[in-house]
Amino acid sequence: MTLSEKNLWKALRALDLHIRRQAPIGRYVVDFVQHSARLVIEVDSGWHDHPAAQLRDSERDAWLSEQGYRIMRVRDGEATGNPYLVAERVAAEIQRSPPSQPFPHQGGRAFVP
């Protein structure tokens, strides 16, 4: 984890938002995710301003969106400079999210198609 990710992780943990860090989703590993809200939080450095990185990010974001995730991008300067403010924005975004749909049930047991 980068310094900005560590700072944000500390702030997110303080709010007890049930967020996972460095979580695999398909072939990608996201910085942070709150699965029930279907929210991915990415901390972006200046590298993400380069055209090759922007192309990679847009392809990744499109795939994650197809899987039902929303992506919240945060600049590393924000995450380093004021991680608790960023964590509050994440919490507000989670509150805006409808809970993910549970799997249909059959006979009292979870059914996974």
| CATH at residue 98 | 3.40.960.10
Q: What is the pLDDT of residues 22-62, one digit of tens each?
A: 999 999 999 999 999 999 999 988 777 788 889 999 999 99
Kindly report whether the global pTM for this prediction surpasses the value 0.95: no
- Give 96's contacts (C-beta < 8 A, 6+ positions apart): none
CA angle 64, 48, 12 (to 5 degrees): 65
Give the number of domains in the chain.
Answer: 1
Which tens digits make up the pLDDT trace of 51-103? 888 999 999 999 999 999 999 999 999 999 999 999 999 999 999 876 555 43
Domain span including residue 33: 3-110
CA angle 104, 110, 113 (to 5 degrees): 60
